[in-house]
Every structure is written in structure tokens, then in C-alpha cells.
Amino acid sequence: MGLMDKHAIIEKNATLLLVGSLLVVTVGGIVEIAPLFYLDNTIEKVEGMRPYSPLELVGRNIYMREGCYLCHSQMIRPFRDEVERYGHYSLAAESMYDHPFQWGS
């Protein structure tokens, strides 16, 4: 039985498949989630970011009330033509005062 044929043992044994799947998901979760507990802040600081002014908050509330964020996600992807047209791509820090978040559906 070669190395490529050993997967048949796992496929035929449901318990072994379940244990193996849980092991893979657990290791993947630990690798992805555990480092976040050791970071002080997951959002990088961006120069010029400040809380919204009262007028900006009124505009943002209208934007949310009318459901504009469902289609207009305010998330620009870093394609060359879009960078030339809109500037740099959106950063997480630019949305740090958006509660609830406004990144579309």
C-alpha cells in the first residue's frame, strides 16, 4: 500500500475521519486566532484619522438609514485603474469609527 492509497483507510473509518477533521480545524483555528490575543491593537494608526464631526455623523446616519451602504460598500480594491482614479485602497483604520461597520453586504 503506497502513500497515496492510505487515504482509503481514513475514508472508510468515519470516526478517524471525524477526529482528523477536528484536529485540522483546531490547529487552523489556533494558528489564525491565537496571535490576535497577543496584539495590543489590530488596527494600524493612520495619520489624520479623527472621530466624526456632528455634521458628518448626520450624513452618516442618513447614509445608513437609506441603506446606501448595502450597495456602496466604501471598499475600493487595489486595481491599478482604481488606484489612479480613487487613490490608495481602503484601510481598516479609515473605518474605525464606523459602528455598525459599513463595508457592504
Domain ranges of the chain: 3-38, 43-105
Q: Tell me which H or E stretch contains 27.
A: helix 14-33
Query: Domain 43-105: which CATH class?
Result: mainly alpha
CA 85 – CA 104 distance, rounded (Å): 21
Question: What pLDDT digit, counting tens, does each position of 35-65 carry?
Answer: 888 888 777 778 888 899 999 999 989 988 9
Q: Categorize the per-residue pLDDT at 104 as very low, low, confident or very high, splitting at 50, 70 and 90.
A: low
Q: Categorize the per-residue pLDDT at 74 as very low, low, confident or very high, splitting at 50, 70 and 90.
A: low
How many beta carbons lie within 10 A of that of residue 51, not counting itself?
8
